[in-house]
């Protein structure tokens, strides 16, 4: 291999370990509508120049006119480049009239005249039925691959192949790289996933990577799975600097405060004050002139503003960024990258993630959810960004465990909010279950929500806490 050539997408180049292999044969497979043609056109318009032109050959899958008409709706399509650095030709008639030998001869002639640096054949699989006899496709494939290998050009073969054809179709053995585009169904959700099955001469990111299609082409979100640092014991490398949480009730139970860059999980049933506790947390930073982010799937900005105004805050503060996304049709990969980018661009010192349950429900599976969470917590810790996450528990009473929540193991601090019955009345109770690298007061404490925020009830511990509602196991 002679280096790499960009795929036209920076994140996809990351997945490919630097881009597509130059002067190689790349096979792009996927069902109709997966984005193969968009992939191919994005690639040629990102690279083609008059000196290093691109040749786009259609066969009998889609008419050339349709490919061009749809291509013009894409933002990267440059009409001025057509006929100057990007050349289109329909091989359909030659294929119908003269079969595979005619195609081979025409491709040889086009290479001699155009001298392209890039060649696309769309669709390659559609040429299979035009083999004149059984076994005739292999000699054609051998001659075509030999011709392309002798000429310095990168070739992209596009086809509507299924996974089981990788073992059966001879072109997969010839290809230097194989990229699959597919749809993934999880419950009621459908998402798109890209996977590299093969890439000679270089490394690539294994596994599936989410992607989306738009007028800007294919946007890939590389699988977010940060490896542990060398010598990592599993604990986050939180800073030694202590910060106030901004929550009076919690600060009263923390002897040393929270570590800067640490992660805190606030879990509890509905109505216990989880979002309010998160607002205290971020507005503590805003009040100090620091940047903060509310990444919410629970309440839109108008709802947050209504709640915040009751305590003298405003989500319209210039130091606060509200990143609201509906949990309906949420692409978790896209969301995580948007959050990380927002943290970097704003320099936020604190982030409220409200709520973790919505993020968990949108994840394609539990393994991926844990990868997202680990990577998010790990990167936030490295940047010194303190993170608070809310998680809604299903039980209104008798909360006994939160161990099935991945964040309870990964988070540096775990705070439980719950309801308690005290001498015939309902009350809210707070328990600090865990503080990594810091001390805290144990026990279950009653708290109240007033116009001044969340505060502990003086001289009141829940000694008469209703049985069955004790401190759960983490």
Q: Please write the tens of the pLDDT for every residue from 47-56.
A: 999 999 999 9
Check the CA dihedral 196-202-203-209 and report its sign: negative
Protein fold of 242-461? Rossmann fold (3.40.50)
- Fold match between 4-221 and 242-461? yes
pLDDT for position 145: 93
Distances (CA, A) of 113 to 95, 108, 109, 110, 434: 20, 9, 6, 5, 71
Q: Report the alpha-carbon distance of residue 330 to residue 358 in Å, rounded.
A: 9
Q: Which pair of tokens denotes residue 219?
A: 């946007």
* CATH code for residues 4-221: 3.40.50.300
The pairing of strands 413-422 and 425-435 is: antiparallel
Contacts with 426 (C-beta within 8 Å, 6 or more apart), sequence order: 419, 420
Task: Encode the chain (474 residues) as per-residue pLDDT tens digits.
Answer: 468 999 999 999 999 999 999 999 999 999 999 999 999 999 999 999 999 999 999 998 888 888 999 999 999 999 999 999 999 999 999 999 999 999 999 999 999 999 999 999 999 999 999 988 878 899 999 999 999 888 889 999 999 999 999 999 999 999 999 999 998 776 566 789 999 999 987 889 998 999 999 999 999 999 887 655 544 444 445 556 888 888 888 888 887 778 889 999 999 999 899 999 999 999 999 999 999 999 998 888 999 999 999 999 999 999 999 999 988 778 888 899 999 999 999 999 999 999 888 888 888 778 888 888 888 888 888 888 999 999 988 877 766 667 565 677 889 999 999 887 666 677 888 889 888 877 788 788 888 888 888 888 875 555 554 444 444 545
DSSP one-letter code for 290: -
Domain residue spans in the chain?
Answer: 4-221, 242-461
Q: Please write the tens of the pLDDT for every residue from 71-108.
A: 999 999 999 999 999 999 999 999 999 999 999 999 99
Nearest to 33, CA basis, from 194, 183, 185: 183
Torsion on CA atoms 228, 234, 237, 238, rounded to nearest 10: 130
Neighbours of 323 (CB within 10 A): 19
């Amino acid at each position: 291999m002679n280096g790499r050539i960009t795929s036209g997408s920076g994140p996809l180049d990351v997945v490919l370990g630097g881009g597509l292999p130059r002067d190689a044969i790349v096979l792009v497979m996927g069902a109709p509508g997966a984005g193969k043609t968009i992939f191919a056109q994005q690639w040629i318009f990102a690279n083609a120049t008059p000196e290093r032109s691109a040749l786009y050959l259609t066969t009998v899958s889609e008419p050339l006119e349709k490919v061009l008409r749809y291509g013009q709706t894409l933002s990267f399509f440059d009409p001025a480049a057509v006929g100057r650095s990007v050349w289109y030709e329909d091989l359909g008639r030659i294929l119908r009239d003269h079969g595979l030998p005619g195609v081979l001869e025409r491709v040889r002639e086009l290479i001699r005249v155009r001298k392209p640096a890039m060649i696309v054949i769309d669709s390659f699989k559609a040429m299979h039925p035009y083999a004149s006899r059984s076994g005739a496709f292999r000699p054609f494939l051998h001659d075509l691959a030999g011709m392309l290998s002798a000429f310095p050009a990168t070739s992209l073969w596009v086809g509507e192949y299924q996974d089981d054809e990788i073992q059966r179709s001879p072109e997969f053995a010839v290809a230097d790289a194989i990229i699959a585009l597919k749809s993934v169904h999880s419950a009621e959700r459908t998402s798109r996933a890209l996977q590299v099955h093969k890439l000679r001469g270089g490394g690539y990111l294994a596994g599936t990577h989410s992607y989306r299609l738009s007028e800007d082409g294919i946007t890939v979100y590389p699988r977010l799975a940060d490896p542990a640092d060398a010598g990592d014991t599993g604990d986050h490398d939180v800073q030694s600097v202590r910060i106030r949480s901004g929550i009076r009730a919690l600060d009263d139970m923390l002897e040393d405060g929270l570590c800067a860059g640490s992660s805190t999980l606030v879990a509890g049933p509905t109505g216990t004050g989880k979002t309010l506790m998160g607002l205290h947390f971020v507005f503590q930073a805003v009040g100090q002139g620091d940047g903060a982010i509310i990444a919410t799937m629970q309440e839109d900005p108008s709802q947050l503003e209504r709640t915040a105004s009751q305590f003298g805050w405003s989500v319209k503060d210039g130091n606060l960024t509200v990143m609201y996304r509906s949990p309906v049709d949420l692409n978790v990969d896209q969301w995580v990258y948007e959050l990380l980018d927002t943290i970097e661009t704003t320099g936020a010192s604190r982030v409220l993630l409200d709520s973790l349950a919505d993020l968990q429900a949108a994840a394609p599976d539990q393994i991926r959810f844990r990868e997202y969470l680990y990577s998010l917590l790990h990167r936030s810790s490295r940047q010194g960004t303190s993170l608070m996450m809310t998680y809604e528990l299903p039980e209104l009473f008798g909360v006994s465990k939160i161990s099935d929540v991945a964040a309870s193991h990964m988070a540096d601090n775990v705070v439980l909010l719950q309801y308690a019955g005290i001498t015939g009345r309902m009350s809210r109770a707070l328990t600090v279950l865990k503080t990594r690298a810091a001390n805290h007061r144990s026990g279950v404490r009653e708290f109240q929500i007033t116009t001044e925020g969340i505060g502990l009830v003086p001289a009141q511990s829940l000694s008469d806490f209703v049985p069955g509602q004790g401190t759960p196991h983490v």
